[in-house]
Amino acid sequence: MDHLNPPPTGAMPPRTPLARPIQDLGAPYHDANAPPRTPTGHARAWRLATFVPAILTTLLLAGAFLDWFRSGGITPTEIALTGLVTVTFFWVAFSVATASVGIVTILAQRRTGAQRPVPAMDVALLIPTYNEAPCDVFGNALAMLEDLRRDTQSGHRYTLFVLSDTRDDAIAAQEVAAFHVLRAALTGTPVHYRRRAENTDHKTGNLADWIEGWGGAHDAMLVLDADSLMSGDAIRALTDALSSDPAAGLIQSFPKVIGARSLYGWIQQFSSSVYGTLLSEGLARWSDAEGNFWGHNAILRTQAFAACAGLPHIDGFRARDAAILSHDFVEASLLRRAGWSVRFLPRISGSFEEAPQTLIDYILRDRRWCSGNLQHLRLLASSGFHAISRFHLFHGAVSYLTSPAWFVLLLFWALLGNGENSVLTYFSDQNPDFPLWPVMR
């Protein structure tokens, strides 16, 4: 229990409360503090360049299937098969279209001029942790803060908060010891540590507790995961971007996967570096100011987030009055609903995260994500959400629903078998040495 590991004296600064009203998903809401924003035609053009090819390609494929089946009469099974092919293929075509837009963007990119000075901001670096290895959490924090201390020109002020929800007393004791070491190593840099008595609402509640207790003293908060690592340049670039765009409520970076220690981890690291780069560039183009939030390695305007993104409890399939699990997608939707821009800047280098090292660990994480993303289906009808925000929510759920859809598709192909005619025979008893190549119509 917490009384066995009391928080160290002076671990937190004086409280500066910030109101965080809970949002009503059934009523529209606009934040009066959100600056007016004039939409540009660029986002509309990029969306047409992404969605139209994906839709047309899918319709052409569906037409080809119906034309193929029409020669022998279309059966209900064939109609169902065509529907499944259409539903599953669209998301493949959409990914290809997004990556193609990313390629065009990379080829057409131009060098930007020198960065203009921006107003200085007071930024809180938040690291929520839950039973994580303290040496990794505080070691990454030390690396980030030491890199930031080399900056003598930007004027931004950074304060670190390690927000512990750790339930294991032995790990909590190590956290306290690591906190003292970190604070001693960074004399003059504000470093704080807080451990909650109860981990109500998990990570969402952890961040909400900090906002309601200390959020009023900081212009922005840069949310990290326990395994996140960002260079000082990346942190400053995110801070500069938020400071220079008063309409932005959230700016997400693209974290690259690092720290692979297994074959499975190396595969993920490779795919993140190669495929993820193209997809992220395309996503940034067509999402524009209606971007998404991945829960970490992103900077948020504290006042806007507190005023507009307080998550309610909802009734789920398994429980009533349950916390929203994949909270980040919903928080981004709430910010955009209130009038704030949600941007994605994939070209900011120096943003990193770790990934599961084994397939079992990946499945365990994916099971949590699956529960949260399917929960989003109940939020699609929320009042005031932007159409692109609804698409993000739907896309997250579909990414898990397509797996059983592909399985059902295989079953339908098996049902279309027609006895011996569905088996290809390449050799005959009369001439076993030479193959008979079948004619496919």
- pLDDT tens digit string along 357-388? 899 999 999 998 998 999 999 999 999 999 99
Nearest to 397 by CA among 331, 343, 342, 326: 326
Run of H or E residues at 299: strand 298-301
Structure token pair of residue 91: 């998301």
What Cα–Cα distance (Å) separates residue 46 from each residue in 278, 285, 286? 15, 6, 5
Name the percent of the chain lying above pLDDT 70: 92
* Helical axes 327-337 vs 387-415, angle rounded to 10°: 140
Through-space distance between the first and last CA atoms of the chain, rounded to whole angstroms = 71
> pLDDT of 17-67, one tens digit each?
999 999 999 999 999 999 987 767 788 999 999 999 999 999 999 999 888
Judged by DSSP in three states, 239 sits in helix
What is the pLDDT at residue 271? 87
Q: Which tens digits make up the pLDDT trace of 210-264? A: 999 999 999 999 999 999 999 999 999 999 999 999 999 999 999 999 988 899 8
